[in-house]
């Protein structure tokens, strides 16, 4: 957690591939909880972030919440990734 693996296939060949990004103080809203890059973020921290976004939405402010349809697309994508791994091939996203 708090470590992202980013793959890029653009730019000079020597710079293509995976790179590790440690989340930290430059990644809001996590910057309120993480004192240094790659530091652990706990379940309670995530719940505070979620509650803040929900309260912003209730107050009529812009918020980063996932709508049901978007969440369903994400879930289908995750399951397709698992099927692709199991079959070692391409699969359709339902």
- In angstroms, the CA 38 to CA 30 distance is 11
Q: How far is CA 1 from the centre of its chain?
A: 10
- Structure confidence by residue, pLDDT tens digits, 19-75: 999 888 888 888 888 878 878 778 888 888 889 989 998 999 988 878 889 889 999
pLDDT in tens, 7-33: 999 999 998 999 999 888 888 888 888
Q: How far is CA 70 from CA 6, 75, 82, in A?
A: 22, 9, 19
What are 74-91's pLDDT values in tens digits? 999 999 999 999 999 999
Closest CA to 16 of 6, 27, 24: 6
The whole model's pTM is what?
A: 0.51
DSSP state of 3: E
């Amino acid at each position: 957690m708090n470590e992202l693996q980013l793959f890029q296939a653009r730019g000079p060949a020597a710079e293509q591939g995976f790179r590790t990004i440690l989340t930290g103080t430059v990644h809001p809203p996590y910057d309120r909880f993480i004192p240094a890059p790659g530091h652990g973020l706990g379940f309670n921290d995530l719940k505070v972030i979620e509650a803040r976004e929900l309260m912003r939405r209730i107050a009529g402010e812009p918020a980063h919440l996932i709508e049901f349809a978007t969440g369903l697309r994400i879930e289908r994508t995750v399951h397709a990734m698992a099927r692709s791994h199991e079959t070692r091939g391409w699969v359709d996203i339902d």
